[in-house]
């Protein structure tokens, strides 16, 4: 869960063995994500375009014969034990609540319908998705724990296993249904009113593809990136996202207020997704100033995502980059979820030759930027960002060149 080298599956199994006295039956890995474009659009039923990154949350686990869940978070050196008989929202430790929420909802929404009951589980948890950096470490934890709890029942969802095992039962559970369950766990058990983007990409990521997701219909396309000589580079401001959850909920409320007012003139709309740029211009003067700015950003960002996907498919990467830059401007000036450090990082990046586009990514107020950079400019990019960002902010950034990987997978141990 903190930045570092990915743990090998052998070491993870050893750590499990050390604590529980036998090898694990399975290990699960779920990736973090970086969103290329389409920020704060998911909860407005709009479009997003994220990729799964090669940073993961890992869980090694086994079923137990009782109905208890015994967890060890290796990176935090913390343990958590709870009973499946009465899952309570205790918030101690906080990370344990994500697993409690997922277990509770899996039992209620999935297993009950197929006459299964959750088994107890022993598990160790580790990972290298940076926490509070806008790269969705919590969605990775939710998704990994969902696959792990199912694994402890001997269940697996189509396309999530690395190896097959004849004793495992395959269940019909559409990935977007599981993503929605994990989102609900975060909304109700962690108290964060997030949208559905992060959980979806952690499940549905595909190597060298981005996920074009319609957050209303939940239809999606995995779009080939074809980046060849272009790299996706993530820069971490190393500023924790302090304000993120209170301001996040405020933005949601402002968007809802905008919809309510616009409905007087556009009675058929149910979210900002339904408002075209043309209609928005007609009625924007009716909105209070702040609401107007927030709504304009969302309406424009939805259009940008669709244009960006078309540009990528047409191999027009410069247009894609220009749309990323415009997205940042909107997030900074109209949606006001950026911060000085994110703006400094973005400005440095945009001034470097060979940078196609740069923007903040995720909820904002700290966390990371995402940059598309020609590979022959990456060295200069790293040197300049390191030097100039540190000079201007007195904070050392982290820079990751990211590989776009697959979504969450379960790996059954050969002895199980």
- Classified as helix, coil or strand, 191 is coil
194 touches ligand GLA by CB under 6 A? yes
In angstroms, the CA 108 to CA 29 distance is: 24
Instruction: Give every strand in the sheet of 78-83, ordered side by side.
Output: 78-83, 68-73, 121-127, 50-63, 26-35, 409-412
Smaller CB separation from ligand GLA, 198 or 254: 198
Considering only the stretches 35-43, 98-106, 157-165, 206-214, report the one whose residues sit in contact with ligand GLA under the rule CB under 6 A.
35-43
Q: Is the Cβ–Cβ distance between 48 and 42 less than 8 Å?
A: yes
211 touches ligand GLA by CB under 6 A? no
Tokens of 179: 């993503």
Residues contacting residue 360 through CB under 8 Å, at least 6 positions apart: 39, 134, 328, 331, 332, 337, 338, 342, 346, 367, 368, 369, 370
Catalytic entry in 198, 274, 340, 353? 198
Smaller CB separation from ligand GLA, 170 or 253: 253
Contacts with ligand GLA, 333-372, as mask; x by CB under 6 A: -----------------------------xx---------
Smaller CB separation from ligand GLA, 77 or 217: 217
Q: How far is the CB of 368 from ligand GLA (least distance, A)?
A: 11
198 touches ligand GLA by CB under 6 A? yes
Strands (E), 346-408: 355-361, 368-374, 398-402
In angstroms, the CA 128 to CA 55 distance is: 6
Considering only the stretches 36-44, 227-235, 314-322, 381-389, report the one whose residues sit in contact with ligand GLA under the rule CB under 6 A.
36-44
39 touches ligand GLA by CB under 6 A? yes
Q: Please pick, from the candidates 37, 40, 254, 275, the single residue that binds ligand GLA as defined by CB under 6 A.
A: 40
Count residues binding ligand GLA (CB under 6 A): 10
Count H helices, E strands: the chain?
Answer: 11, 15
The answer to whether 318 is a known catalytic residue is no
Smaller CB separation from ligand GLA, 39 or 156: 39
Task: Give the burial class of 412: count Cβ atoms within 10 A of its Cβ; 0-12 exposed, 13-18 middle, 19 or more buried.
Answer: buried
Counting Cα atoms < 13 Å in the Cβ hemisphere of 284 gives: 20
Q: Please pick, from the candidates 43, 47, 98, 381, the single residue that binds ligand GLA as defined by CB under 6 A.
A: 43
Q: Please pick, from the candidates 25, 42, 301, 406, the single residue that binds ligand GLA as defined by CB under 6 A.
A: 42
Smaller CB separation from ligand GLA, 363 or 399: 363
In angstroms, the CA 15 to CA 162 distance is: 21
In angstroms, the CA 292 to CA 278 distance is: 14
Site for ligand GLA in 238-277 (CB under 6 A): none
Q: How far is the CB of 361 from ligand GLA (least distance, A)?
A: 8
The DSSP secondary-structure symbol of 299 reads H
> 3-state DSSP helix/strand/coil percent for the chain, to nearest 5?
45, 25, 35
304 touches ligand GLA by CB under 6 A? no
Considering only the stretches 108-116, 119-127, 148-156, 195-203, report the one whose residues sit in contact with ligand GLA under the rule CB under 6 A.
195-203
Contacts with ligand GLA, 135-174, as mask; x by CB under 6 A: ----------------------------------------
Place of tokens 């580790």: 126
Interface residues toward ligand GLA, by CB under 6 A? 39-40, 42-43, 194-195, 197-198, 362-363
Q: List active site positions.
A: 198
């Amino acid at each position: 869960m903190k930045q570092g080298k990915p743990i090998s599956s052998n070491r993870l199994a050893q750590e499990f063995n050390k604590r529980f006295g036998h090898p694990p039956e399975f290990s699960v890995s779920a990736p973090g994500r970086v969103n290329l474009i389409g920020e704060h659009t998911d909860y407005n039923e709009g479009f997003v375009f994220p990729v799964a990154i090669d940073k993961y949350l890992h869980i090694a686990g086994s079923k137990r014969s009782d109905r208890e869940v015994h967890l060890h978070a290796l990176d935090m050196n913390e343990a958590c034990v709870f009973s499946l008989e009465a899952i309570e929202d205790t918030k101690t430790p906080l990370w344990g609540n994500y697993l409690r929420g997922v277990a509770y909802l899996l039992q209620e929404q999935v297993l009950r319908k197929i006459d299964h009951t959750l088994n107890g589980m022993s598990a160790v948890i580790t990972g290298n998705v940076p926490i509070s950096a806008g790269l969705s470490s919590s969605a990775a934890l939710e998704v990994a724990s969902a696959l792990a709890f199912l694994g402890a029942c001997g269940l697996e969802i189509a396309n999530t296993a690395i190896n097959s095992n004849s004793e495992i039962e395959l269940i019909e559970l559409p990935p977007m249904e599981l993503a929605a369950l994990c989102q609900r766990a975060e909304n109700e058990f962690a108290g964060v009113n997030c949208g559905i983007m992060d959980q979806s990409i952690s499940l549905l990521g595909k190597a060298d593809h981005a996920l074009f997701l319609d957050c209303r219909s939940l239809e999606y396309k995995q779009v080939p990136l074809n980046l060849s000589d272009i790299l996706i580079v993530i820069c971490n401001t190393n500023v924790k996202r302090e304000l993120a959850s209170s301001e996040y909920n405020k933005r949601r409320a402002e968007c809802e207020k905008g919809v309510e007012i616009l409905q007087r003139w556009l009675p058929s709309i149910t979210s900002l997704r339904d408002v075209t740029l043309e209609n928005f211009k007609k009625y924007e003067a009716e909105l209070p100033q702040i609401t107007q700015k927030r709504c304009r950003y969302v309406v424009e960002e939805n259009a940008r995502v669709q244009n960006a996907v078309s540009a990528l498919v047409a191999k027009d990467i410069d247009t894609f980059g220009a749309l990323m830059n415009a997205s940042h401007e909107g997030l900074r000036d109209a949606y006001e979820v950026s911060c000085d450090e994110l703006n400094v990082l973005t400005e440095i990046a945009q001034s470097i030759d060979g940078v196609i586009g740069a923007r903040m990514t995720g909820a904002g107020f700290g966390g990371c930027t995402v940059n598309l950079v020609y590979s022959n400019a990456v060295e200069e990019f790293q040197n300049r960002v390191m030097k100039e960002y540190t000079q201007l902010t007195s904070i050392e950034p982290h820079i990751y060149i990211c590989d776009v990987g697959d979504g969450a997978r379960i790996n059954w141990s050969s002895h199980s």
